Copies of this chain bind each other. A is one copy, B any other.
């Protein structure tokens, strides 16, 4: 199976994450789609329970802090949300896609464009913290191979980067964050996507 490449930032709600599998690191995509509804959350992509919980936590956090992304809490009750992680043949689990899911949901609800060639990995918590995750070295190699130039990590993963030979890090900028709002500030541009839908 060949490895994936970065695929642009034209669509709202699609964010690039970093995954660590039995055959090494890879990038993955979180895709989010909104349709008029009552707040139902659908999760597909052969996801395990812990990965599903990441989406539930991300959504709860955005609801509780909706004003920080310029929305009212009511907006979340007017849309059904579908989050998909492609490549259904691969079972996926673990908490490391948390910040990627958070960013995908925030982009979908604001229709703001995600920063170009950006990827990320990190667990999220309900109070807004970003926790470190494993497999950093493999994930960084995969990101470079996929033409990623900026990566968001937990501040607590900084030490893992310091252990990597500098040659492998060339051409990639790292952002270390403690809180989930920092992720959104770093990841979302102020520009709306073309063909933005009217969410609020």
Contacts and interface: CB of A to CB of B under 8 A. Distances in A.
B31 A44 contact: no
Q: How many copies does the complex hold?
A: 6
A188 to B, nearest CB: 17
Interface string A50-68: 1001101100110110000
Given A31-B126, A83-B126, A86-B131, 9 more contacts: A33-B60, A44-B53, A44-B57, A45-B53, A50-B88, A53-B88, A57-B82, A87-B123, A89-B94
A95 interface: yes
A20 B187 CA distance: 37
Given A53-B45, A53-B46, A125-B29, A131 B36 contact: no
B50 A46 contact: yes
A171 interface: no
Interface string A157-180: 000000000000000000000000
Nearest to A49: B46
A14 B126 CA distance: 9
A126 B123 CA distance: 23
Contacts of A64: 33-35
Pick the most buried of A63, A83, A125: most chain B CB atoms within 10 A of its CB: A125
Interface in A100-132: 123, 125-127, 129, 131
Nearest to A129: B86
A24 interface: no
Contacts of A63: 35
A127 B54 contact: no
